[in-house]
Amino acid sequence: MEFYLYTIIIILVVAVLGLVVQQYSTKKELKKAADVVKEISDGNMERRLIIGEKSPAADLCYMINDIVIHSKEELTKHKQSETAYRQLITNLSHDIRTPLASLTGYLEAVRLMIVNEEDRERYIEISHEKALDLKYYIDTLFEWLKLESGERIYHFEHINIFEYLREIAVDLIPQFEKADMNYDINIPEEDLTILSDKSAIRRITDNLTQNALIHSRASLVKIEMRKLEDRIFIEISDNGIGISETNLPRIFERLYKCNAARGVSGNGLGLSIVKELVKGLTGDITVKSKKNQGTTFYVSLPIRNS
């Protein structure tokens, strides 16, 4: 990546300099420009071409400097992305390895029949839970990769949105009960059909709920849905530890983890996936949070029938 960027920079610089070589007034200026080009080609992205404002080549030199500055910024972003991706792979490897090891161990014990009937049923139940954990991590990774590559395809269909949200909420209740967490779910009983992507809505709801379950240390989660004019609003809130003002502006960034705010490790993908999916549904998402008072996510989706 860096090699190609450097090559492009060198070609551009040399080509432009070749066009304006006759514009320089002295060989001294040419020598200085050549030295700068050599340093840039050697990887010193801090060097710039300097020439008098009245020189006929001034504008071209400014353009070359802009290209070098832009290339340096792209290289920096690329290095940051590489570092973040390596960290992501490390985190996901750990996330997957832990439940996989447990799953293998419990199933091996059942297969070898070294446990009694009571423990056998418990081992099978635990294995099922670990398998679901693995599925969640793998689904999260695949969802993120599709969004990252721009290959995520939205399948819009007519949905009774309130009924569908009730179905999602029913699936979430066992998770709340397992975590000994109280819940308050308010979804209108009326029928409202809209055009949207069911898998995206489920992923949005699941990820926001998982964020509360895993990170908030809350005792209560609220899910509320309502219609207002031509939009649907989904609010998911908790009464947990909240998110600090420092971390709040960055929580939707891909691979960003605010461990200091939430106190629990994660892969940094859940909320970034939510933001991209909401954007794909032409909606909006905002968040409000106060330390030790809780966090609320507000999702707004347009009502479309065609």
Residues 263 and 297 in one domain: yes
Q: What is the CATH number of the domain that holds 136?
A: 1.10.287
Which residues partner with 182 through β-bridges? 220
Residue where one domain finishes, among candidates 123, 149, 175: 149
Q: What is the CATH number of the domain that holds 229?
A: 3.30.565.10
Sheet-wide strand order for 182-186: 182-186, 220-228, 231-238, 294-302, 284-290
Say whether pLDDT at 262 is over 50: no
Q: Say which DSSP state 87 is in.
A: H
Residues 241 and 258 in one domain: yes
What CA–CA distances, in Å, run from 127 to 63, 95, 107, 117, 178? 61, 16, 7, 15, 16
Say whether pLDDT at 204 is over 50: yes
Distance of alpha carbon 104 from alpha carbon 162, whole angstroms: 40
pLDDT of residue 160: 94
Encoded amino acid at 36, one letter: V
Residues 63 and 192 in one domain: no
Most confident of 48-52, 130-134, 170-174: 170-174
Residues 122 and 200 in one domain: no
Residues 141 and 174 in one domain: no
Residues 138 and 171 in one domain: no
Residue where one domain finishes, among candidates 149, 172, 191: 149
Residues 280 and 184 in one domain: yes
- For residue range 114-148, list pLDDT tens digits in order: 888 888 888 888 888 888 888 888 888 888 778 87
pLDDT of residue 202: 94
Domain residue limits at 105: 85-149
Residues 247 and 176 in one domain: yes
Residues 199 and 247 in one domain: yes
The number of domains in the chain is 3
Residue where one domain finishes, among candidates 107, 126, 149: 149
